[in-house]
Structure formats: structure tokens, C-alpha cells
Amino acid sequence: MRKSLHIFTLALVILSLSTAAMADGGESASAVAGVVNINTADASQLALLPRIGEKAAQRIIDYRTEHGPFKKATDLMQVKGVGAKTFEGLSKYIAVEGKTTLSSKVQGPRKPRAKKPTATASN
């Protein structure tokens, strides 16, 4: 009885440590630390955001120049090409105050490719 209690306790400790290690490892690999201030960022900093390339970054700068600074993050959806779907993916990486701290490109989640239908031979 005493030996099985030690084995059970050891197994429980190993299981909890491995679960914690897997949870930490998976989260840190996908999480990117930092934000981009959309009121002060240049085109190269804006291009670090997911689904934002050079052209979209320039449109953001042009909009900001014409209309003034963004008052809230959701104002970014007024820029052509930045709709609700795009905003949803980059909202956690943008700010309207403070410094730009994002230093590497954020890769957005990719959808799996759809399989093409195969052609069948017909007689």
C-alpha cells in the first residue's frame, strides 16, 4: 500500500509538470510581444502587423495624414482594405498611445488549403 502511494504521487507530480510545460511552450511560441502605435508608426512598422503589407501601411499613413490621429483603435476600420475581419486579427497588436514595441512580423493564422476536385475520366 505504501509503495503504491509513492508511485501514485510521483506519477501525479510528473503529469502536472509535463502539462504545465506543454501549456507554457505552446503559448510562448505563438505569442508575439509588442504593439504598434498606429498614430506614430512609419510604413515599415505598420507592415509588421498581420495582414498588413506595404500598400495597406501606406493607406493607413495617408488616412492619418488626411484625417488626423486615430482617436481609438477601431477607427482603423475606416481605412480602405481594413475591415472587421482584418481588424479582428490585428486588434491585439495595435495601440493609439505609447511607443511602438513590436519588433518582428506577426504571422496571421492560415487557413488550410481547399482540396481541388479531381477530374474523372469519362467515356
Cα separation, 107 vs 38, whole angstroms: 18
In a domain, 78, yes or no: yes
Res. 60 pLDDT band, cuts 50 70 90: very high
The mean pLDDT value for 66-82 works out to: 95
Average pLDDT over all residues of the chain:
82
Q: What is the pTM of this model?
A: 0.64
The mean pLDDT value for 19-43 works out to: 70
Q: Which residue range is the domain that position 67 belongs to? A: 36-95
Res. 27 pLDDT band, cuts 50 70 90: very low
Model pLDDT, residue 101:
92
Higher pLDDT, 111 or 83: 83
In a domain, 67, yes or no: yes
Cα separation, 21 vs 66, whole angstroms: 49
In a domain, 56, yes or no: yes
Cα separation, 34 vs 95, whole angstroms: 10
In a domain, 75, yes or no: yes
Question: What CATH number is associated with residue 62?
Answer: 1.10.150.320
Q: Please count the structural domains in the chain.
A: 1
